[in-house]
């Protein structure tokens, strides 16, 4: 948004997309591949501590039984984000002002505030996990005794420096987003290697995609893992950042098809693969060996997901670096979300000093290792559930916008398309509300 795309290049891009719209499916998909990007940004944002924790605990404690959770959560998220992309690209309007004008001002405020709160809350488990894997990595190479707060401080410096490049260096942003893309696929390939090198019960894997709730084991309740897994797939801050990432690229009505393609290829497929492979790898190693995995499980214990196959040192290092990359990308994008909210509600110029200062709102998360070092991985579970409880605020806002003739005009879906779009929003909201209700009943009786 600080460096808009070249108008001539954008016009040529739109002409090509208009041609592809009537091309055969295979040719159209090949053409779409060169445009994908915003979906990977969302994959990098959601593949953080919440996904890592829910997937690792699901596989280590319950084997294949909870494989169905992450794909279900992401599929529901894709349904919602498809609606968001249609709204944004049809109107060209920024989401918060549009929601304030055509839905409800206070609902838009609630969406913005909830996105900021979620970014702040989610920062704590990111720093907690990042510091834990950094100190585990230093222990592995023989540099023992590094304080976790020192490691957390290092992550803070890196994240602040990188988040401030948004609006300052478009080249750095492109390099960073490419790094996110390769990180996502690197994690997928590494976990796939573990699965191929271990004994996998493929019948059990297929059965794991059938919803079930196994009994509590080791003090870990499957309902808690399910709710955290669903909530980790799509966060309310992702729903806020996504439409801005579309507009920042100059995308418009001609990009609606490629946006849907991007969500499936850049978000659904990498996320479903990464989370499912993580569950299977944890089941094949930790669960199969009978390792005791509790809420206080150390990173070194969970690193056996790779260590048992690749090697006690190299596997542990790769595990630590992979998890670190996941947390760093999420930390940076959470900070960017806070900056966008400040820009919208206070009219701050993008890239201005005040707008950049708002990106620092989640910084208190750096103190997480001081408070919850005994729960290096598990802290992501309750915090993810808290953030997931805010999702209905956004869903209600987008549902009202979807039915607004004044907002969408002739682009408001009718007939079967309207049923699918509206039904997807209602279904996603029903699933998150129902799962949270079961969680609260189970926890508090």
Claim: this prediction has a pTM higher than 0.85: yes
Q: Strands (DSSP E) along 84-221, which ranges?
A: none
On whether the CB atoms of residues 37 and 263 are closer than 8 A, the answer is: no
CA–CA separation, 304 vs 312, rounded Å? 8
Report how far residue 71's alpha carbon sits from residue 74's, in angstroms, rounded to the nearest whole number.
5
How far is the C-alpha of 171 from the C-alpha of 250, rounded, in Å? Answer: 17
* pLDDT band of 183, cuts 50, 70, 90: low
The answer to whether the CB of 161 falls within 8 A of the CB of 133 is: no
User: Among 41-45, 208-212, 291-295, which is the least confidently predicted range?
Assistant: 41-45
Least trusted range by pLDDT, from 14-28, 136-150, 397-411:
14-28
Rounded to an integer, the average pLDDT of 13-24 is 80
Does the structure show a pLDDT above 80 at 39?
A: no
Q: Please give the C-alpha separations between residue 370 and each of 133, 160, 376, 441, in angstroms, as whole numbers.
A: 15, 20, 11, 31
Q: Rounded to whole angstroms, how far apart are CA atoms 358 and 366?
A: 16
Report the candidate in 129, 60, 149 with the shortest Cα–Cα distance to residue 322. Answer: 129
pLDDT per residue as tens digits for the range 305-356: 888 788 888 888 888 888 888 888 788 888 888 888 888 888 888 778 888 8
DSSP string, 71-115: HHHHHHHHHHHHHHHHHHHHH---HHHHHHHHT-HHHHHHHHHHH
Backbone angles phi, psi at 217, to 5 degrees: -135, 135
How distant is the alpha carbon of residue 265 from its chain centre? 15
Of 257, 351, 339, 329, residue with least CA distance to 4: 351
For residue 399, the model assigns a pLDDT of 93
Write out the two tokens for 264: 């499936």
The confidence score (pLDDT) of residue 51 equals: 83
Write down the pLDDT at residue 1. Answer: 60
Query: What was the pLDDT predicted at 2?
Result: 60
pLDDT score for 219 = 83
pLDDT at 168 over 70: no
Looking up tokens 């930390």 gives 331
- Report the DSSP beta bridge partners of residue 220: 217
Residues 51 and 67: their CA atoms lie apart, in Å, by: 12
Check the CA dihedral 220-152-321-183 and report its sign.
positive
CA distance 390 to 251: 28
Q: How far apart are CA 57 and CA 224, in angstroms?
A: 11
Counting DSSP H helices and E strands in the chain, the numbers are 24, 0
Residues constituting the chain = 445
Percent of all residues in the chain with a pLDDT value above 70, rounded to a whole number: 95
Residue among 200, 177, 335, 297 at smallest CA distance from 248: 177
Q: Which segment of 31-45, 89-103, 223-237 scores lowest on mean pLDDT?
A: 31-45
At residue 202, the pLDDT reads 92
Query: Would you state the pLDDT for residue 313?
Result: 85
Average pLDDT, the chain: 85
pLDDT of 84-111, one tens digit each? 999 999 999 989 999 999 999 999 999 9
């Amino acid at each position: 948004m600080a460096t808009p795309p070249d108008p001539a290049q954008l016009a040529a891009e739109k002409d090509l997309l208009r041609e592809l719209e009537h091309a055969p499916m295979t040719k159209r998909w090949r053409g779409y591949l060169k445009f994908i990007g915003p979906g990977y940004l969302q994959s990098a944002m959601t593949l953080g501590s919440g996904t890592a924790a829910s997937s690792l605990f699901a596989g280590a404690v319950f084997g294949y039984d909870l494989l169905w959770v992450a794909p279900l959560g992401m599929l529901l998220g894709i349904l919602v984000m498809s609606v968001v992309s249609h709204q944004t690209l049809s109107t060209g309007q920024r989401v918060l002002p549009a929601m304030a004008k055509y839905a409800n001002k206070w609902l838009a405020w609630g969406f913005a505030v909830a996105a900021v709160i979620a970014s702040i809350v989610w920062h704590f488990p990111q720093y907690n996990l990042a510091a834990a894997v950094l100190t585990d990595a230093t222990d592995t190479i023989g540099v023992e005794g590094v304080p976790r707060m020192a490691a957390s401080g290092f992550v803070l410096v890196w994240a602040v420096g990188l988040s401030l490049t948004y609006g300052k260096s478009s080249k750095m942003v492109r390099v960073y987003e490419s790094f996110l893309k390769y990180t996502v696929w690197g994690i997928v390939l590494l976990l796939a290697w573990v699965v191929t090198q271990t004994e996998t019960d493929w019948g059990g894997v297929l059965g794991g995609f059938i919803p079930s709730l196994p009994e509590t084991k080791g003090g870990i309740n499957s309902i808690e893992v399910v709710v955290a897994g669903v909530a980790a797939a799509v966060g309310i801050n992702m729903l806020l950042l996504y439409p801005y990432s579309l507009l920042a690229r100059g995308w418009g009505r001609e990009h609606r098809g490629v946006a849907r393609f991007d969500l499936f290829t850049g978000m659904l497929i990498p996320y479903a693969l990464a989370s499912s492979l993580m569950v299977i790898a944890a089941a094949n190693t930790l669960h199969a060996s009978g390792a005791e995995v509790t809420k206080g499980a150390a990173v070194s214990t969970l690193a056996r997901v790779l260590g048992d196959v690749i090697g006690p040192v190299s596997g542990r290092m790769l595990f630590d670096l992979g998890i670190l990359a996941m947390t760093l990308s999420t930390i940076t994008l959470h900070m960017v979300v806070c900056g966008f909210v400040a820009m919208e509600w206070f009219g701050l110029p993008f890239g201005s000093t005040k707008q950049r200062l708002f990106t620092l709102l989640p910084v208190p998360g750096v103190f997480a290792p001081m408070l919850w070092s005994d729960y290096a991985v598990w802290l992501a579970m309750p915090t993810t559930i808290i953030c997931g409880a805010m999702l209905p605020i956004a869903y209600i806002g987008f549902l009202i916008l979807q039915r607004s003739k004044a907002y969408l005009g002739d682009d408001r879906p009718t007939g079967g398309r309207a049923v699918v779009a509206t039904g997807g929003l209602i279904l996603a909201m029903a699933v998150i509300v129902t799962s949270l209700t079961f969680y609260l009943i189970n926890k508090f009786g």
